[in-house]
Every structure is written in structure tokens, then in C-alpha cells.
Amino acid sequence: MKLILLVGLWVGVGGMGTEDLPARIPTLQRLQLERLRAVHEAREVFSGTRHRPPWAVGLNDYRAVIHAHSFLSHDSRGTWEEITAAAHETGTQVLLMTEHPAEEYDVLARARHGLHEGVLFIPGTEENQLLTLPRTLRYRPPESSRQAHINRILADGGLVFIAHPEELTDWNLTDFTGLEIYNIHADFKDERELLTGLERLDPKLFLLLLQAERTFPQEMFASLTDVPRDNLRRWDQLNQRRRVVGIAANDAHSNTGFVLKVAEGGKVRVEDILGEDLALLDPTQVPLLPALVADKEPGTEVLRLHLDPYARSFRHVGTHILAPELTEEDIRAALAAGRCYVSFDWIADARGFVLWVEKDDQKWLMGEEVPWQQGLTLRTTLPCPAEIRIVGDGKVVHTVNGPEATYPLPAPGVYRVEVYVTLAGEVWPWIYSNPLRVLPRR
């Protein structure tokens, strides 16, 4: 009851950024079976409202997963087959793999590159808190400063995004292409209650997760979602000065979870997904465990709780890129131009979303700069009706419930939209567009 009231008050208030969104339900509550089911059913109803909006631009919408790791990174074992299959399963056409560099081999030279079974692979690295997508696929150690590293990648014709902006302290950096406005791993790291429970191997939490994973795995994964307020605020500030492109980072490793195996002497070994030992349990001390291991040979796997398989991480969030064709040239150009948006596609596939500014027969797409003049209109269309918040210079200036919004621009500024969906009484982020910068004539 309280929540519905809050949501009612929230609609149409405006005048702030994301600060006035109602408080989210705590993660452990979100993980309860009844709650997961309610969200799942609401999501099915919502995505069932899907229609094809009149397409305003002559470009295709390619779904990308940016920031993912394979076996080339020390903390993942993912194979190309596995990763490509996950891309197929989630309608992902572009994979920007960003590997941790290795001492023994060249992660760029060994990476998968180009079109494979309909999926475009663009290799890159993650280091120095930067996602780099250089043109030259030969690894070179970072420069002495982060700025020099950025400059080198740009000089090579590459793209550079700030990774984990929540940890960056040096904001005098400049010229980088953009930043992660959302990162799954960062979103997970603030789940204190969940993380301490996992570290303690709390059996109650284990059972809760196991039940959630077996019934509503995508909703279980989504229960970590927070609105990335700080990143959005930082991003808005940066865009006051120049175009800084916002992307989603999946930070997919497929390495989080637990495997229980029967060990010698009647004990139970707990390993992580990569096979590292975590603990040796005495089954008599843990409820339900004795029944699970009874009469089994040492080495037998009795339970597996894999929280972040690639497909689940890929589906959760993506960066949609508007480009003429599925080629590396077009994808790079669109990313550099900010012709992209972030979408939590676990709620519903956002294809059909577009944001533009128009006057008479002139059109400017998200990412572009628009010379200020009288008579400009901001327009957006959605594949499913939802809560559209138009953000101007970091503040919500207009809110609309529906499949589209039209907003006559009152003044120059940096304009973008955020789209929220209410599922089972709780407000969830769905889409974050890149901004259009409407600038006074010089």
C-alpha cells in the first residue's frame, strides 16, 4: 500500500534528477519466491504490450554487450562457443570483449575478431580502469599516466571508456570516448547483506538463492539492480562540457557461484565456479546436506549454484547501437558519436526506442549536437508504454506516461531521457538514452 502511494506521488513531480525515485525493496526481500513470481508475471504483461513504433530513423538497432571476459582473462574460463551461444540466446549481435592483459600471451592478438556466426567481435582490454578498443591488435603495456594511455588509444583510432567510474578519483581526465553509466559487477558489489551471507556460506541464503535460481533465474539476477545515481550525476556534469558517451558494462565473467562435491572422510568440499577451493564442510553441521551426500563417491558433484552464466548477464542489460550495418566501422562510428542507449532488456527488448530532436524536416539523433533555434522539438518513441522522464541539464524537466513523448525545447541544454517501468509496485530502470547537446550559436 505504502509503495503504491509513493509511486503515485512520484509521477509528475519532476524538477529533480533520480533522487525522487521511491526507495527500492531490499535485495533479500526481492529474492523471496512470491516477490520473484510477481515481478516475473508483471514483466510478461509489460513486454506483451510491445508494438512496433513508427521507426523514425533509417538505421538498424544492434544490441551490444560491452565489457565481457573470456578464458583469455585470468578470472574467467568462458570459451568462444559458450559466449557466442549466449549472444545468440539473448539477441546480442555485437560483443566488445575487454580482457585483463596476461603476461604470457597477447590478449589482443589471440582474441576473436570480426563476424562469427552472425556476432561481431571487437577485441579490447580492461586495465588502468579503462576499457580500450584499439585499432592495432597488438598489446602494449599502459603509458605512465592514465591520460597518456587514453591519448595513445585515441591516436590509434580506437575508443576508450572509463571502467568502474565509481572508483575513479582522477576526474581531470579528458578526451576519453565515454564511461560506463552502469556496471553489473559494481551493482553487485554494494549488496552487503548478500555478500556477507555468501562469504559465511549461510545455508538459509544458499537455499533462498538456489530456489530463486531454479525458478526465476533472470529475476533473481535482476534483484541486484540499483539506479546508478552517482554515475548519472557525474555523466550529466561531464556532458555540460563535451560529448561523453554513456554505455552499459556487463562485466560478464561467468565465474560466480558454488559447487558442492563429496570429499574424503564424509566431508563436503565447496568450490567456486572456476574450481577454486572455498571450504570443507562437515555435513552433520549443515541442514539437508547429509541427505544430499549419502552413499556418494568422493569427487561426486552434488549441487551447483551458478549465479552469472553469460546468457543471464548478457540479457540483464545491453547497449543498443544505431548503425547502418553490422560492420566494425559502423559500430565504432556509432559508439563514438553516442548513437546508442542503455537498456535493461531483462524487462523487455527495447528495440524500437529512439530519441531525436526535430524542426520541420530536419532531424538530429541522440549523440548529436544541435544548434539552438526556436521551434525545436524533442521526440522519443518506445516499443512498450512506460514512464518517460526527460532530463535537461541533469534535472527532470518533463514526465510522460505512454509510448511516446513530444517536448518543445524551451532553451539550449543537454537533453536525454530515462525510462522507468513499475513491476509489481516497484519502479525499475529500463532505458537510459545518450543525450543530445543543444548549444547556443557561437
> CA-to-CA distance for 87 and 83, rounded, in angstroms?
6
Q: In terms of CB distance, is 251 or 418 closer to Zn ion? A: 251
Query: CA angle 152-154-155, nearest 5°?
Result: 65
Closest CA to 163 of 145, 185, 147, 141: 185
Task: Name the minimum Å distance from CB 260 to Zn ion.
Answer: 27
State the residue number with the nearest CB to Zn ion: 251
Q: In terms of CB distance, is 231 or 433 closer to Zn ion? A: 231
> CA-to-CA distance for 78 and 111, rounded, in angstroms?
12
Task: Name the minimum Å distance from CB 264 to Zn ion.
Answer: 36
- Applying CB under 5 A, which residues contact Zn ion? 126, 251
In terms of C-beta distances under 8 Å and separation of at least 24 residues, what long-range contacts does 183-187 make, across chains too?
Answer: 183/67, 183/248, 183/249, 183/251, 184/224, 184/249, 184/250, 184/251, 184/252, 184/313, 184/316, 184/317, 185/249, 185/251, 185/253, 186/228, 186/249, 186/251, 187/224, 187/225, 187/226, 187/228
Q: What is the CA radius of gyration of the chain?
A: 23
**Position 262, amino acid:** V
Task: Name the minimum Å distance from CB 315 to Zn ion.
Answer: 18
- Cβ 371 vs Cβ 247: under 8 Å: no
Q: In terms of CB distance, is 182 or 356 closer to Zn ion? A: 182
Q: In terms of CB distance, is 251 or 345 closer to Zn ion? A: 251
- Cβ 357 vs Cβ 363: under 8 Å: yes
Task: Name the minimum Å distance from CB 67 to Zn ion.
Answer: 6
Task: Name the minimum Å distance from CB 98 to Zn ion.
Answer: 6
Task: Name the minimum Å distance from CB 182 to Zn ion.
Answer: 13
Q: In terms of CB distance, is 219 or 251 closer to Zn ion? A: 251
Q: In terms of CB distance, is 252 or 397 closer to Zn ion? A: 252
> How many residues make up the chain in this entry?
442
Task: Name the minimum Å distance from CB 224 to Zn ion.
Answer: 16
Q: In terms of CB distance, is 251 or 368 closer to Zn ion? A: 251
- Cβ 177 vs Cβ 434: under 8 Å: no
Task: Name the minimum Å distance from CB 252 to Zn ion.
Answer: 8
Q: In terms of CB distance, is 74 or 204 closer to Zn ion? A: 74
- Cβ 87 vs Cβ 65: under 8 Å: yes
Question: For residue 112, with 0-12 CB atoms within 10 Å meaning exposed, 13-18 middle and 19 or more buried, which class applies?
Answer: middle
Task: Name the minimum Å distance from CB 136 to Zn ion.
Answer: 22
> CA-to-CA distance for 357 and 407, rounded, in angstroms?
9
> CA-to-CA distance for 34 and 244, rounded, in angstroms?
41
- Supply φ then ψ for residue 307, to 5 degrees: -85, -30
> CA-to-CA distance for 392 and 413, rounded, in angstroms?
6
The CA dihedral of 158, 159, 163, 165, to the nearest 10 degrees, is 130
Question: For residue 133, with 0-12 CB atoms within 10 Å meaning exposed, 13-18 middle and 19 or more buried, which class applies?
Answer: buried
Q: In terms of CB distance, is 90 or 183 closer to Zn ion? A: 183
Q: In terms of CB distance, is 126 or 349 closer to Zn ion? A: 126
CB atoms closer than 10 angstroms to residue 104: 4
Q: In terms of CB distance, is 239 or 255 closer to Zn ion? A: 255
Closest CA to 74 of 253, 252, 250: 253
Task: Name the minimum Å distance from CB 313 to Zn ion.
Answer: 11
Task: Name the minimum Å distance from CB 69 to Zn ion.
Answer: 6
